[in-house]
Structure 1
Amino acid sequence: MMSVDIAAGPFAHDRSSVSRIMLHVCLALTPCTLFGLYVFGWPAINLWLLTCGSALATEAVCLRLLGQPMRRLLDGSALLTGWLLALTLPPWAPWWIAVGGSVFAIGIGKQLYGGIGQNLFNPAMLARAALLIAFPLQMTTWVLPVPLGSVDAPDFIEGLRITFGGMPLLDGVTGATPLGDLKTQLTLGHNAEEILASDFSLMSALVGSIPGSMGETSALLILLGGAWLLALRIIHWEIPLSMLLVVALLAGTAQLYNPEQHLGMLYHLSTGGLLLGALFIATDPVTSPASRLGRLIFGAGCGLLIFIIRTWGGFPEALAFAVLFMNALTPLIDRYWRPRVYGRNARGKPLAATNRINEVKRP
């Protein structure tokens, strides 16, 4: 007698697919990316092209070696990984940073775990953390915004020399990020309120005229892209909300406790890669929890770690380390705060069986 497996409903399909989701995320990243390429000029354009191209090339090589169909290259996951990595790198970094980071992200961070949907850690953040530990000088060399067409902006040939030829950067174009400058000034014994009054402009942080990576340029454009993904329900609201809320609460409390050593919530929310991480990186469905409560815990943990490392750690920007640490806790979070399966109660028992038991117990 032939046995037939019957699957439980529902069978509705919302027409979403991996390639569609990746496409929308890339489109949401486009405004801040274009602005970052404009602000940092030809070296940043070279870096972005190299990072994305190397990610795609590494993905193609891995697919060929593993005997998998090459059409998987078109799902957009490798492109998005390279894109996110490029947004977190120094915009004038040398070519080998871009290529090495992409190879590590795809080869080690993604394919080593079995490919798309199997990786434990966010590949882009894993690569950034590895680069930061291995090459701290190159990963902490930042430049001031020099928009395309401006007097100080390098032309196409100079951009190639900076990216591929190791052309030294002039002191006039280098500068520290707001978070790096804050940590340096506090180490020298300066007052946080004085630093805020002299070196920080909220409008500059919102618009994007500050040193940093392309993902730290315009907070407004990052918020615009994130709002679009939220409207399309491609990302969930729990991680961004809990992550930003925890950072804001901790920063505000620390400033009230000791305003001479801590800056307020607006400074922390508008600088660094916090917004990019909260809306585009920590919300990765593969490396974040599946349940609503789990996502709230995940986001809160990221926010807590970011504030701790920013305030007392050795690195001014803590996004990669916070996300990777919480990625490692995701299986544990999913174990204890698993989502309710359709047709079952919170304990995992079928609703039909539960109803029959209740009927038997009735007098």
Structure 2
Amino acid sequence: MANKLIVAPAPHVQTAQSTTRIMRDVVIALMPALVVSTVVFGLDVLRVTALSVVSCVVIEYLIQKFMVRGATTVGNWSAVVTGVLLAFNLPASIPWWIVVMGAFVAIAVAKMTFGGLGKNPFNPALVGRVFLLIAYPVQMTTWPLPVNGSFDVLSGATPLAAVKQGLAGPGAIGVQEMLLGNIPGSLGEVAAAALLCGFVYLLWRRVITWHIPVTVLATMAVFAGVVAMCSVSFDALPQAADGTCSAGYKLGYLFGTAWRAGIFHVLAGGAMLGAIFMATDYSTSPMTVRGGVIFAVGIGLITMCIRLWGAYPEGMSFAILIMNACVPLINKYVKPKRFGVK
């Protein structure tokens, strides 16, 4: 009874979760994708990932030790997570010095400039990735081919780039290839099934909730499907087997087109990686479920606008960073009512 009468400041609900445990769980969730990527592209994947992680950890340690002159926090695994996510946004053939430069921008500019973990308004790994994409577009878009497989349709381009360049349609790249990772691309966009395994693990560990990832992917799928349906010309519809083109046949063809476009854009590129591991970052996402849904819808819409009508074949990184900037506004206008307020 005596313990119940103790008055103490918030928070009153305690949990076994800690920053170190959360970050370690994120690293574990990324391991299936790392394994698949290593099988697809070879040992260069481990080289890039190890270099990125070591660079992020060392840079953060040096800044805290000699510039901030405070307690070092590299033991909380946040720098490791940034390093792995940055590596997952890079091609396996990228030169080592570009990896180090990306790690410097991610940690020194995007994270430590704002005060470190929990104070950064933008996802550090994405800031590093976008900087490298703008500064070194050739190296960042030179994709190595998988060790095994034939890619006459893609001609060395990623599925998104192939569709963007008119080399193939969304239905030309098989769902199996995008799920299992037998396609060109960056380290983290070649195996959607492995990323989904990581998603299930994070849900099981209660590190994240399903609202942001599912809303991002659903928005992308619906948007892609509607655009694909609107682009279909009824005059050019193929005839049915009996030589007719009934209303039911037209409707089935339209929905088939929408389905292929939607599933393609969900599985291709960095959609899975961004929606599951980057849009859910605690520091850069809204605090409420309703705010998270608004945040996720914005990411999905911006991503699809860039993919379909922008200069880049992929827009996930830009979309997340743009919506990161909107998080303070979302938090201000979308928040729960105080207890007792009508």
RMSD: 2.3
* Superposition map of 1:220-239 within 5 A: 220-239=193-212
Report what 2:238 is aligned to.
Answer: none
Distance 2:268 2:170 in 1: 12
* Superposition map of 1:28-43 within 5 A: 28-43=29-44
Deviation at 1:131, TM superposition (A): 0.7
Report what 1:291 is aligned to.
Answer: 288
* Superposition map of 1:130-149 within 5 A: 130-146=131-147
1:305 aligns with 2:302: yes
Distance 2:278 2:93 in 1: 22
| 8 Å CA contact retained: 1:47, 1:86 | yes
Report what 2:23 is aligned to.
Answer: 22
| 8 Å CA contact retained: 2:170, 2:261 | no
1:68 aligns with 2:70: yes
Report what 1:184 is aligned to.
Answer: 165
The one-letter amino acid paired with 1:311 is: L
1:45–1:298: structure 2 CA closer, same or farther, 3 Å change rule? same
1:257 aligns with 2:257: no
| SS of 2:283 mapped into structure 1 | coil
* Superposition map of 1:39-188 within 5 A: 39-65=40-66, 66-70=68-72, 72-146=73-147, 175-185=156-166
Deviation at 1:42, TM superposition (A): 2.3
Report what 2:243 is aligned to.
Answer: none
Note the alpha carbon deviations across 1:9-44, whole angstroms, 9 max, x for none. Answer: 562211110000000000000011111122111222
- TM-score, length-normalised on structure 1? 0.81
- TM-score, length-normalised on structure 2? 0.86
| 8 Å CA contact retained: 2:199, 2:276 | yes
Report what 1:337 is aligned to.
Answer: 334
1:86–1:321: structure 2 CA closer, same or farther, 3 Å change rule? same
| SS of 2:106 mapped into structure 1 | helix
Deviation at 1:255, TM superposition (A): 1.1
| SS of 1:215 mapped into structure 2 | coil
Unmatched tracts of structure 1, length 5 or more: 1-5, 151-172, 187-193, 341-345, 356-363
Q: Which runs of 4+ in 1 moved over 3 A?
A: 6-10, 259-263
| 8 Å CA contact retained: 1:206, 1:220 | yes
Report what 1:247 is aligned to.
Answer: 220
Distance 1:196 1:294 in 2: 32
Report what 1:319 is aligned to.
Answer: 316
Unmatched tracts of structure 2, length 5 or more: 1-6, 234-256
1:206 aligns with 2:179: yes
Deviation at 1:85, TM superposition (A): 0.4
Percent of counterpart pairs with the same letter? Answer: 39
Deviation at 1:295, TM superposition (A): 0.1
Distance 1:231 1:279 in 2: 14
| 8 Å CA contact retained: 1:143, 1:174 | no
Deviation at 1:184, TM superposition (A): 0.9
The one-letter amino acid paired with 1:195 is: G
1:8–1:216: structure 2 CA closer, same or farther, 3 Å change rule? same
1:94–1:240: structure 2 CA closer, same or farther, 3 Å change rule? same
Note the alpha carbon deviations across 1:253-282, whole angstroms, 9 max, x for none. Answer: 111111489961011011101011111010
The one-letter amino acid paired with 2:272 is: L
| SS of 2:70 mapped into structure 1 | coil
Distance 1:327 1:333 in 2: 10
The one-letter amino acid paired with 2:273 is: L
